């Protein structure tokens, strides 16, 4: 039986990648496509913007879209995602969240909802990035003395949050491996006379421009050598395919909070 998928933000860049991924997967069925009520694409076929017919019209009626569905996949904004979260709880629908930029309080709401429905929540759905997180943890445990950790990320000009959710997750992986609290050791900007670098800190540098899909580098800089772990995404299809894999992972889950390491069996 095919897994019936609902895509939130269907007219956006990630929405298009998800639509194409669902249509290309014989094990999945596009059940509904939703977007903001003011979208000019409401009422149009979900495949119109990339020249395909899906037989599914874009709607703003979330409750109707979720009726009879299996999984909602969402790469929108935190405020919209929390509304989808409530709708999924009410309908008993599983939820894949690729949205970033949540506050601590908003994340707590997701954790609470996972006691009622099954959720995969990850700042990056890429299989490669998930592996990178594990590699960063391993590297930090070995390079635990004499190496400064800096995280550099680059994204397209339209990204609204910084640092990226993926960069923060990489920082958490490094900090956790070293027994540190990222909230206390992160440095998000440097300007002027900053003094010498505190070796216990983890630095972040953010680049925004053009159409960069997503680049992340974790730099371990020592004396006489440096190690760089890098992932570069050249297509949003990598995130879409990871999200669809997460949707399949949830097929036999009734409740619980999972991330991509659970999906890939890396825990």
Q: For residues 108 and 183, state if they share a domain.
A: no
Catalytic positions: 155, 159
- Backbone phi, psi, residue 98, to 5°: -110, 0
Q: For residues 9 and 117, state if they share a domain.
A: yes
Q: For residues 15 and 115, state if they share a domain.
A: yes
The token duo for 33 is 């496509």
CA dihedral 127, 79, 174, 245 (to 10 degrees): -20
Q: For residues 201 and 257, state if they share a domain.
A: no
pLDDT of residue 6: 98
CA dist 180 and 149 (Å) reads: 12
**ω into 128 cis (within 30 of 0):** no
CATH number at residue 221: 3.30.360.10
Global pTM reads: 0.83
The token duo for 116 is 């009622």
Measured CA angle at 27 (ends 24, 33), to 5 deg: 65
CA dist 66 and 82 (Å) reads: 15
| pLDDT tens figures, 34-79 | 999 999 999 999 988 778 889 999 999 999 999 999 999 999 999 9
Tell me the CA distances in angstroms from 66 to 32, 111, 136, 153, 226, one per residue in order. Answer: 8, 21, 38, 35, 49
Question: β-strands 214-221, 226-233: how paired?
Answer: antiparallel
Task: Tell me the sheet residues that pair with 6.
Answer: 32, 72
Q: For residues 178 and 247, state if they share a domain.
A: no
CATH number at residue 65: 3.40.50.720
The helix (run of H) or strand (run of E) holding residue 4 is: strand 3-8
Domain range spanning residue 66?
3-121+236-264
pLDDT of residue 101: 87
Q: What average pLDDT does range 78-94 have in this prediction? A: 97
The token duo for 130 is 């998930």
Q: For residues 240 and 117, state if they share a domain.
A: yes
The token duo for 102 is 């949540």
Q: For residues 115 and 240, state if they share a domain.
A: yes
What is the number of domains present in the chain? 2
Contact 59, 34 (CB under 8 A): yes
Which residue do the tokens 């920082």 mark?
171
Q: For residues 40 and 105, state if they share a domain.
A: yes
Contact 257, 119 (CB under 8 A): yes
pLDDT of residue 267: 76
DSSP 45: B
Q: For residues 65 and 192, state if they share a domain.
A: no
| pLDDT tens figures, 112-142 | 999 999 999 998 899 999 999 999 999 999 9
Q: For residues 81 and 132, state if they share a domain.
A: no
Q: For residues 13 and 44, state if they share a domain.
A: yes
Q: For residues 9 and 114, state if they share a domain.
A: yes
């Amino acid at each position: 039986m095919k897994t019936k998928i609902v895509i939130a933000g269907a007219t956006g860049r990630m929405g298009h990648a998800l639509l194409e991924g669902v249509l290309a997967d014989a094990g999945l069925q596009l059940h509904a496509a939703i977007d903001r009520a003011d979208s000019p694409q409401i009422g149009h076929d979900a495949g119109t913007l990339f020249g395909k017919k899906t037989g599914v019209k874009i709607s703003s009626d979330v409750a109707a879209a979720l009726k009879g569905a299996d999984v909602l996949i969402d790469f929108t904004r935190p405020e919209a995602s929390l509304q989808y979260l409530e709708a999924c709880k009410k309908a008993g629908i599983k939820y894949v969240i690729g949205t970033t930029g949540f506050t601590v309080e908003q994340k707590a709401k997701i954790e609470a909802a996972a006691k009622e429905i099954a959720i995969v929540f990850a700042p990056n759905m890429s299989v490669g990035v998930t592996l990178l997180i594990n590699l960063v943890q391993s590297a930090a445990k070995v390079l635990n003395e004499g190496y400064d950790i800096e995280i550099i990320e680059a994204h397209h000009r339209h990204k609204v949050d910084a640092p990226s959710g993926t960069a923060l997750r990489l920082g958490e992986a490094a900090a956790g491996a070293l027994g540190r609290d990222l909230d206390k050791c992160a440095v998000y900007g440097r300007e002027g006379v900053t003094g010498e670098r505190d070796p216990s800190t983890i630095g972040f540098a953010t680049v925004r421009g053009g159409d960069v899909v997503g680049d992340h580098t974790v730099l371990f800089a020592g004396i006489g050598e440096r190690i760089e772990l890098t992932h570069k995404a050249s297509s949003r299809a990598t995130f879409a395919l990871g999200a669809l894999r997460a949707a399949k992972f949830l097929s036999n889950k009734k409740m619980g909070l999972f991330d991509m390491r659970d999906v890939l069996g890396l825990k």
